[in-house]
Structure 1
Amino acid sequence: MAKLIIVVDKTQDWAPFFKFDGVMTLPDYLKWSVKNKQRIRVINLCRQAQYLGSGYYCSLLAEARGHNAIPSVRAFNKFNRHEIADVSEDIPSSILQQLNKALVNENANQLSFNIYFGETEFKALKKVASYLFDAFTVPILTVELQKKNHWQVKTLKIGSVHKLSESEQSRFATALEKYSHKIWRVEPVNRKFKYDVAVLIDAKEKFPPCTPKSLELFVKAAKKAAMDIEHIGAKDMHRLAEFDGLFIRETTAVNHHTFYMAQKAEREGLAVIDDPNSILRCGNKVYLHTLFEQHKVPMPDGVMLFKNDENNLARAVDALGLPLVLKIPDGSFSRGVVKVKNLTDFNTQLTALFAQSSIILAQRYTFTEYDWRIGVLNGQAIFACKYFMARNHWQIYMHGKTKTQSGGFTTCAVAEVPLHVLQAAIKACAPIGDSLYGVDVKQDGDNVYVIEVNDNPNIDDGVEDLHLGNKLYDIIVEDFIRRIELKR
């Protein structure tokens, strides 16, 4: 039987309800460990529902621990700034008909009500509430209705348990007790069966994961394998069902159209690289740190720092020493990563980074002349490069006001890579998925440290393909065919 955990921002948020030893704050939940392989259900009632807020992190890190959380990170990402507006177009006409039938005698032009785990006090709206909960699975969903010619759903908002009235608290507690006994369900995937692949690109992107030449080489390899390729953009989301696969060759992010397109493509039954789970898991350094910790992947020592925690400085310096590295969770291309040498610098940088995220990762600083980049596809290493640090800098990329400089590179055969580097890279990918990844590894003698796993690694002509040449593109095409056939 699964153990139920309820996570809140403040313990007083749970004060109106029955005493339960499974209620804890987010920092306490992250410090809490399970000694056996018991299944864990997490009801996330944290107040901050916005991207990189405490609620978002609760579900993100619950997933990293292998726990089932509601809301899921995917559910959070359906909302923008706590609410979704004008959703009636996405709701089936049959549900809207039920809504209008239930409110046929309602005289007002606006109406608001809460849904608690799919339950509502309005019996006539039970089917509507059930549908909205399945589509937007959050513990408390506030629905605003508006009547013009007919009733429509105006906005959906994530409700907060600490704002409930006494009568609402009673309904919430009853619904929670009922829901906690239900079986967790997985959304079905509709499968489509066409045999061509869309490649998502942004021709204006400053640091794309593929050069134009490498895109051409991929198209050439695909044609040899009887695969049609079409380049698409962000505005082509509605066309995804036309394809059998989606290859994302644009820099991904969670709160971004690349993630939404990956989600939609997966729902449509496409073979997807990068799949949405990989984008979620690789797109946040705090998540990766927790995941690596759970799976004993070698990595630099690290400490999570929480906004408004007065002990941040002492904990980080005591554990890691100085200098150390501070990382914003969703930075890319060395952005949002800073090295601090002294306490003054630490405080200044931490204040700036906390303006962007409620949790910051601090890691032990280890200098190496280069980082290994190991390309991994379906659990197998397919290319290997050494990326050298930018001149007179401690990172591969050095961003200036007018231009960005980067260090050199060396491409080599996978067989030439030290075995413990390869093993660390493959081990890091295993809990993330079987997609295409670029694993950054620091090698310090016999010690190796996985820095991060990138879900859409660069594949540039004359760099990553320098050793294998066209064969590298053949390998990717062959794996896409494998994935497509598995879908069939």
Structure 2
Amino acid sequence: MPNTMIVIDSQADWECHLNPEQVITFEQFLAHQYPINLTAKAGKKSRLRVINLCKSHAYLSLGYYCSLIAEARGHNVIPSISTLNDLSQQELTHLTLSFMPKLLSKAAFNWQVPDVTPLMPIHLVSYFGRTAQSEYEELARKVFEHFPYPILRITLNFNGGWQVQAIDAVSPDSLNEREAEEFADALDNFSGKVWRKKPASKNYRFDLAILVDPQEKLPPSDNSALKKFIAAGKSLGIDCELITQQDYLRLPEFDGLFIRTTTSIDNFSYRFAKKAELEGLVVIDDPTSILHCTNKVYLADLFAVNKVNAPKTFILSIAEQDQIDSKVAILGYPLVLKIPDGAFSIGVEKVKNKTELDNALQRLFQRSSLLLAQEYLYTEFDWRIGILNHKPIYACKYFMVRNHWQIYQHGKSRVASGNFTTLPTFEVPKVVIEAAIKSTKLIGDGFYGVDIKEINNQGYVIEINDNPSIDSGVEDGYSGDELYRIIMNEFLRKMERRKNTVN
């Protein structure tokens, strides 16, 4: 695995308690005089990690050239040139912040902040995403994910709510004694844990990160399934490691990323997918698939344009509510209302009459300016067809919850789900398989779960899930451990193809 190298201006500057064998001067770095122990242990991947701690990162300074040269040599460097450029211009910083929906604002508006005068700014210092002020830890970490820089000073002001006013880069030599100690501890932690080296193990051909969220109540894969993915990967020469959102900056360690946490555009999973794709990793599911599959408005339009058989659907706009009645008249009652980005039957309501419709519209339009109205098609179960690289790999019948019209029913304290049956794909009606393949070809060659209703020998595509569930004893009910090998083998195929292309 890659090793960490710290670059400084002068050895006289180094008073940190990290292993001095990791530290070199800029002149040594420029002359390729890397520590022998790092060069010798780089392993099958020659890419080293560089922490650039030069005093100045201003344009054309030694620190600037350090990051520039590190990137030219293919090293993974912090801070990157992109980060330096963004932080040098506050307008670019604020532009980046504007594209983080709910990320910073959600944290900022939920702090239990001390009693302070609202007009008085709050200043905090972040060392590799850590801060001594515990109430701001989440903010410091999330800012660091978007601006990976060793030391950042974050300024907050109050304007109807707490907002990020400025993010400034800080040089290590400007720290006082207490701050220098905090920085040294953070550097120890960051270099030793976040960019940690994996213990010596079998020489695997590829490294695969499996992204999970230990706090998620309805994850796409249970712990037993995750263990089976890891075992299947290792049998094919792929070393699999479970990672969480804390491991964002470790992505360059890996050859592939398998997302096993629920995806959405404003969730950390999408940021992981984007970063992994930019780093050249094989990603399932890729950010484009996430972007398209998590929005039901996009899917409805896609199905209509490409003549995919689906329930009759209309898009309802909050700005054109005068057209709703005419669309509802075509659909008739009962009908189904959906928010565009709901998952696990959340944000989906069945309405039986005009009164229920008006009440549901009032609730759902508060969550989205566009809604979908869809004809209600009754079936005892939905087909779920797993598609990987345009091929069906499993088939399930998900039955509706007893005395309910969906496969999930959300209560106040628990979520109920219906029964299921797993079948071999060759026993599934041809029209169902064809509908699944046709619809996913419009998205990509990733891993999808297609929900289909079968009525009168017709397959009606309800939606395409970019991150379908694989739970032990459910989706693998027919093929067993072979299902996990099929998915891992697709990673292997794509990683080998990528390696051959790069070489």
Pick the TM interval, shorter chain: 0.5 to 0.7
1:211 to 218, 222, 226: 222
Alignment partner of 1:474: what SS? Answer: helix
Structure-1 residue corresponding to 2:327: 316
- Measure, in 1, the Cα distance between the counterparts of 2:388 and 2:487: 8
Alignment partner of 1:310: what SS? Answer: helix
CA deviations on 1:302-344 (whole Å, 9 max, x unpaired) are 1100013232431322221111000000000001000010001
- Measure, in 1, the Cα distance between the counterparts of 2:439 and 2:321: 33
Residue 479 of structure 1 deviates from its aligned partner by 0.3
Alignment partner of 1:427: what SS? Answer: helix
Do 2:205 and 2:238's aligned partners in 1 also have CA atoms closer than 8 Å?
Answer: no
Higher-Rg member (1/2): 2
Structure-2 residue corresponding to 1:330: 341
One-letter amino acid matched to 2:375:
R
Q: How many correspondences in the alignment?
A: 322
Residue 240 of structure 1 deviates from its aligned partner by 0.1
Do 1:194 and 1:243's aligned partners in 2 also have CA atoms closer than 8 Å?
Answer: no
- Measure, in 2, the Cα distance between the counterparts of 1:111 and 1:448: 51
CA deviations on 1:363-412 (whole Å, 9 max, x unpaired) are 00011000000000000000000000000000000111121111100100
CA deviations on 1:63-92 (whole Å, 9 max, x unpaired) are xxxxxxxxxxxxxxxxxxxxxxxxx97764
CA deviations on 1:120-174 (whole Å, 9 max, x unpaired) are xxxxxxxxxxxxxxxx9xxxxxxxxx9xxxxxx948xxxxxxxxxxxxxxxxxxx
Percent of residue pairs bearing the same amino acid type: 49
- Measure, in 1, the Cα distance between the counterparts of 2:331 and 2:282: 42
Structure-2 residue corresponding to 1:122: none
CA deviations on 1:399-446 (whole Å, 9 max, x unpaired) are 111211111001000000000100000111001111110000000122
Structure-1 residue corresponding to 2:276: 265
Do 1:217 and 1:473's aligned partners in 2 also have CA atoms closer than 8 Å?
Answer: yes
- Cα 1:329/1:94, change in 2 over 3 Å: closer
Do 1:194 and 1:244's aligned partners in 2 also have CA atoms closer than 8 Å?
Answer: no
Structure-1 residue corresponding to 2:18: none
Structure-2 residue corresponding to 1:291: 302
Asked whether 1:428 is paired with 2:469, we answer no
Do 1:194 and 1:242's aligned partners in 2 also have CA atoms closer than 8 Å?
Answer: no
CA deviations on 1:42-81 (whole Å, 9 max, x unpaired) are xxxxxxxxxxxxxxxxxxxxxxxxxxxxxxxxxxxxxxxx
Structure-2 residue corresponding to 1:406: 417
For residues 88-99 of structure 1, what are the structure 2 equivalents within 5 Å?
Answer: 92=82, 95=85
Flag structure 1 segments of 5+ consecutive residues without an equivalent.
1-87, 101-109, 116-135, 137-145, 147-152, 156-192
- Measure, in 2, the Cα distance between the counterparts of 1:340 and 1:413: 35
1:397 to 408, 422, 434: 408
Structure-2 residue corresponding to 1:355: 366
Do 2:205 and 2:237's aligned partners in 1 also have CA atoms closer than 8 Å?
Answer: no
TM-score normalised by length of structure 1: 0.62
For residues 84-483 of structure 1, what are the structure 2 equivalents within 5 Å?
Answer: 92=82, 95=85, 154=166, 195-483=206-494
Alignment partner of 1:326: what SS? Answer: strand
Flag structure 2 segments of 5+ consecutive residues without an equivalent.
1-77, 96-145, 147-154, 156-164, 168-203
One-letter amino acid matched to 1:297:
V
- Measure, in 1, the Cα distance between the counterparts of 2:257 and 2:211: 7
Alignment partner of 2:320: what SS? Answer: coil
Computed over aligned residues only, the root mean square deviation of the Cα atoms, in angstroms, reads 2.9
- Measure, in 1, the Cα distance between the counterparts of 2:289 and 2:339: 19
One-letter amino acid matched to 2:490:
D
Do 1:322 and 1:342's aligned partners in 2 also have CA atoms closer than 8 Å?
Answer: yes
Task: Report runs of 4+ in structure 1 exceeding 6 Å deviation.
Answer: none
